[in-house]
Amino acid sequence: MYRIMASNDSMEPANEQVVANIYGNMRSEINQIYSKITELEMEVSEHSLVVNAISPLDPTRRCYRMIGGVLVERTIQEVLPAVTRNKEGIEEVITRLNEALERKKKEIVDFEAKYKIRIRKADDLKDDGAGKKEGSAQGVLVGPASSSNQ
**pLDDT by 10s per residue, the chain, length 150:** 444 343 444 567 778 889 899 999 999 999 999 999 999 999 999 999 999 999 999 999 999 999 999 999 999 999 999 999 999 999 999 999 999 999 999 999 999 999 888 888 776 665 545 445 444 443 333 334 444 444
Report the candidate in 89, 88, 108 with the shortest Cα–Cα distance to residue 34. 108
**Domains of the chain, first to last:** 13-115 (1.10.287.370)
Eight-class DSSP state of 120 = P
State the pLDDT at residue 125. Answer: 60
72-86 CB burial, b ≥16 within 10 A, e <16: eeeebeebbeebeee
Pairing of strands 70-75, 11-13: unpaired
Separate counts of helices (H) and strands (E) for the chain: 3, 4
Indicate the SS3 state at residue 70: strand
Task: Indicate the angle between helix axes 16-54 and 76-115, nearest 10 degrees.
Answer: 160
Give the Cα separation of 54 and 37 in Å (integer): 26
What sign has the CA pseudo-torsion 45, 46, 47, 51?
positive
Query: Which residues lie below 8 Å from residue 117, measured CB to CB, with a gap of 6+?
Result: 19, 23, 111
